Amino acid sequence: MTDQNEAVLLDALDKFLIAEVDPFVHDLEARDEYPHDIVEKMKEMGLFGCIIAEEYGGLGMTTATYARIVARITRSWMSLSGIINSHLIMSSAVQRHGTEAQKQRYLPRFATGELRGGVGLSEPDCGTDLQSIRTVAVRDGDDYVVNGTKTWITNSKYGNVLALLVKTDPTTTPAHKGMSLFIAEKREGFTVARKLEKLGYRGIDTCELLFENYRVSADCLIGGVEGRGLQQILSGLELGRINVAARGVGVAQAALDLAVAYAQQRKTFGKAICNHQAIQLKLGEMATRAESGRLLTDAAAAAYDRGDRCDMEAGMAKYAATEAAMENASECMRIHGAYGYSKEYDVERLYRDAPLLVIGEGTNEMQRIIIAKQLVDRNPA
């Protein structure tokens, strides 16, 4: 995608967000209501095919362009970026690791949003440590029979397909050698048990799932070979962490925008509070945090586009940008005073949304460990 095409796309996206999203976010979020109409318009714009190659019907965007799109969407409503993110992690797993037959069959339908979904990884007692999952798939003729439970699965109620991580050999050591990834479409045995209630990140469908004698064709084993599932999905999580970093940039920038605007309107002791040194110190730090997160996210996206190993870069971006989101949301609330605590203003939504970012796609504690290990590995004494 050329710089000119990217500029045209981002301009169209900005107009879409202003006209079709911003006026409705407050009420949709308050009701925890899924934005069906907005999602349909996102399909029309091709956003579900952002990084899917043009030969398979996608837009073929670079990850750098995609990250900018995510940051802009998040400035309006973080939940919308999550609807795209989980779907594209699934799509990336198929595009990077699927057989050619799987790519031809699924990627065009992923790109249009006809098939829309996410990734089925976490379980009730397993999040960061994916090798501890207990969902099992047993070969039965031309099918596998899946039994187990998944939780915190985005796009699982209104979506219709998942990249599902299971154990095809639960006895293997190390455990990852017995893990496989399937393209799992909704059918008998695939049950949405309940929608989970959340502090923030509302409107998007996050659910607990049950798999009871669910049958999936062997043709849907990504790559066609057992035992590669964990590696396949972890490569996709680099993209997921860049997405979450971009969301952090969006929340941090949204909080900064609100704080700068309010600080010029609110007056105390005869002058706008932006003229008080205490507020200026806050704004200066908020702006620096937002820009630092943006630059690290751009660097991680560029490394991903080059095909470099970028778990350290993605970890740095995710850590810095999401901590910026947390701190900026908190400072924005303080600058707004009592109004920041009111549900009439968007500040409190940012304050509730930001904590998810430091937890999702690998906690920030885990990111720091990844950064340190890679730092040592890349710089042997």
Instruction: Give the CATH number, domain containing residue 81.
Output: 1.10.540.10
Supply the pLDDT for residue 362: 86
Task: Tell me, yes or no, whether 157 and 246 share the same domain.
Answer: no
Structure tokens at 9: 């796309």
pLDDT above 70 (res 3) = no
Is residue 360 located within the same domain as residue 278?
yes
From first CA to last CA, the distance across the chain in angstroms is 41
Neighbours of 289 (CB within 10 A): 25
Distance CA 146, CA 142 (A): 13
Which of 228, 248, 281 finishes a domain? 228
Model pTM score? 0.93
Cβ atoms of 73 and 13 closer than 8 Å? yes
Q: 274 and 170, same structural domain?
A: no
Q: Are residues 222 and 237 in the same domain?
A: no
CATH number at residue 182: 2.40.110.10
Ramachandran angles phi, psi of 116, nearest 5°: -135, 135
Taking CA 209 as the corner, what is the angle to CA 363 and CA 112, rounded to the nearest 5 degrees? 85
- Helix, strand or coil for residue 212? strand
Cis peptide before 124 (omega within 30 of 0): no
253 with 365, same domain: the answer is yes
**pLDDT at position 254, please?**
98
Q: How large is the average pLDDT for residues 93-108?
A: 97
Judge if 18 and 155 occupy the same domain.
Answer: no
Q: What angle do CA 289, 292, 296 make, to 5 degrees?
A: 140
For residue 356 the two structure tokens come to: 């998810």
87 and 141 housed in the same domain: no
**Same domain, yes or no, for 29 and 53?**
yes
What range does the domain containing 42 cover?
A: 3-112
Tens-digit pLDDT profile for residues 312-359: 999 999 999 999 999 999 999 999 999 999 999 999 999 999 999 999
In the annotation, is 40 catalytic?
no
Among 228, 259, 286, the domain boundary falls at: 228
Burial class (CB in 10 A: 0-12, 13-18, 19+), 278: exposed
Domains of the chain: total = 3
Rg, C-alpha atoms of the chain:
21
Torsional class of 330: left (φ above 0), alpha (ψ -120 to 50), beta (otherwise): alpha
pLDDT in tens, 257-309: 999 999 999 999 999 999 999 999 999 999 999 999 999 999 999 999 998 88
Q: What does the mean pLDDT of the chain come to?
A: 94
Of 207, 228, 249, the one marking the end of a domain is: 228
| pLDDT per residue as tens digits for the range 192-244 | 999 999 999 999 999 999 999 999 999 999 999 999 999 998 877 788 899 99
Q: What is the rounded distance in angstroms from the CA atom of residue 357 to the CA atom of residue 375?
A: 23
Q: Is pLDDT above 80 for 2?
A: no
Q: Which of 238, 291, 361, 365 is catalytic?
A: 361
Beta-carbon contacts of residue 291 (< 8 Å; ≥ 6 apart): none
Q: What percent of the chain has pLDDT over 70?
A: 99
Given phi > 0 = left and psi -120 to 50 = alpha, else beta, which region is 30? alpha
DSSP states along 114-153: SS-EEEE--BTTBSS-GGG---EEEEETTEEEEEEEEEEE
Q: 299 and 243: one domain?
A: yes
Whose tokens are 């080059």? That residue is 306
